[in-house]
Chains A and B, each alone.
Chain A
Amino acid sequence: MAEFEREDGVTRDNLVQRVALMEAMIAEGRQYTGHNAWIFVLWGLVDLTAWAWQNYSPHTGGPWAWPICLITGVVLTLAGKAMQKSDKGYSRNDVCSRVMGVWGMMGLAMGIYVACAILTHFSWQYSYVAALLMMLGMAHAISAMFLRWKMQGLVAAVYWAGGVAIFVCNSWRATNAIMLIEMGIVMVLFGLYAMWREPRGGGKQGACA
């Protein structure tokens, strides 16, 4: 230990304290994901609704299915977050802020990308649909690495596999099925899993909103 002290003035106690703090932050970060997992469920349901509307009722405003559902999703997410913020029992740590930063940036990038693709009529291309899955996979993978959470890493791998599968299958039927599975079912299931985990992380104390 004396070697540590000689090299850069860091004592053993200081290191132990740092490690403990980092572990606590990672645990709180996972709880944060669980606490906000309703957003995954919400967006899974939004995607499923838009998909069902477009496929089963294309003559009743079919082209508007995605724009309307996406805007509704954004409004509900913002309303839900505003309600959560009024809950005083939650504080915020560094890992939570970073996880929030990743999802915030992903949401912003995806929002711009989707809006532009819809407005310029490029949303039918395989490369567009695959890029959405790749982007979601990236956000999950980064979050998984921050939180050292294998389950979220697995979800990221599933999204990336879906993105690659769209190019490999090269058909609209397959692309539709992959979108349905990934954007709807995987998102809802992961959200429910994270919500189920949250209370096991110790409830509200130390989590973040």
Chain B
Amino acid sequence: MTYIERDGGTTRDELVQRVALMEEMIAEGRQSTARYGWMFVLWGLTYFAAIAWTVYLPYTEWAWPACIAACSVVFGIVRSRQSCVEGQIDNLRRHSLDAVWQVIGGGIILYLIAVIASGHGKEPEYLAAVLFFNGLANGVSARILRWWPQGVAAAIWWGCGTTMLLFTTRTEILTLFLMATFFGMIVFGLYAMMLENHMSSMVPGEQQ
């Protein structure tokens, strides 16, 4: 300990306090990601709906804008009600996770708007980029929360993105996109919801 004290001016007590605070924040961050598992399921179903529209329904150019707009409205309403009922968990890690998802979500929307508005929507490879963006969000979140299941979700997104650059027919691209959405978003969201249920059924002292 003397080494640490001499080196950075940090005492043992301060270090213990920092570690305890970090562990507490990680636990809170994981819990809140589990609490918001429904968001992954909602966005996964939105992707499925948009793709089904582009394949089976007319006015395909409206499929993505309409589905994303509808999902955003539902998302906003449910989230605001959830915040009212449960209150906000405020810690630095929670803010960090919000920042990650807000930034990457915003970036994806900006990218998609630019692709569609400039008429590049027919280049299917842009979808591979979207899968990589989703993988990046999950990867950063997994790294912050030290949570391997979310790391697996990131690997699924990146794996499907990589494969999409190798298999480039319309059917292959759609299949890969749906696979990534199903496993990386819907299954992960359901797992997070299950975890949340499990945690809320436990006595507070048992939660880790």
A206 CB within 8 Å of chain B: yes
Return chain A residues, CB-CB under 8 Å to B52.
none
A181 CB within 8 Å of chain B: no
| Chain B residue nearest to A25 in the complex (CB) | B92
Cα distance A106–B104 in the bound complex, in angstroms: 12
B47 shortest CB reach to chain A, Å = 18
Return chain A residues, CB-CB under 8 Å to B158.
109, 112
B107 CB within 8 Å of chain A: yes
- Find out whether the CB atom of A91 lies under 8 angstroms from the CB atom of B110: no
- Find out whether the CB atom of A167 lies under 8 angstroms from the CB atom of B115: yes
- Find out whether the CB atom of A125 lies under 8 angstroms from the CB atom of B132: no
| Chain B interface, number of residues (Cβ within 8 angstroms) | 45
- Find out whether the CB atom of B165 lies under 8 angstroms from the CB atom of A134: no
A149 CB within 8 Å of chain B: no
Please report whether the interface of chain B is mostly helix, strand, loop or mixed according to DSSP.
helix
Partner of B99 from the list A105, A125, A146, A168 (CB cut-off 8 Å) is A146
Interface residues on chain A, size class: 35 or more
B182 CB within 8 Å of chain A: no
Partner of B144 from the list A98, A122, A163 (CB cut-off 8 Å) is A98
Return chain A residues, CB-CB under 8 Å to B129.
113, 127-128, 130-131, 134
- Find out whether the CB atom of B132 lies under 8 angstroms from the CB atom of A135: yes
Given A141-B103, A160-B110, A167-B120, is A105 in contact with B136 using a C-beta cutoff of 8 Å? yes
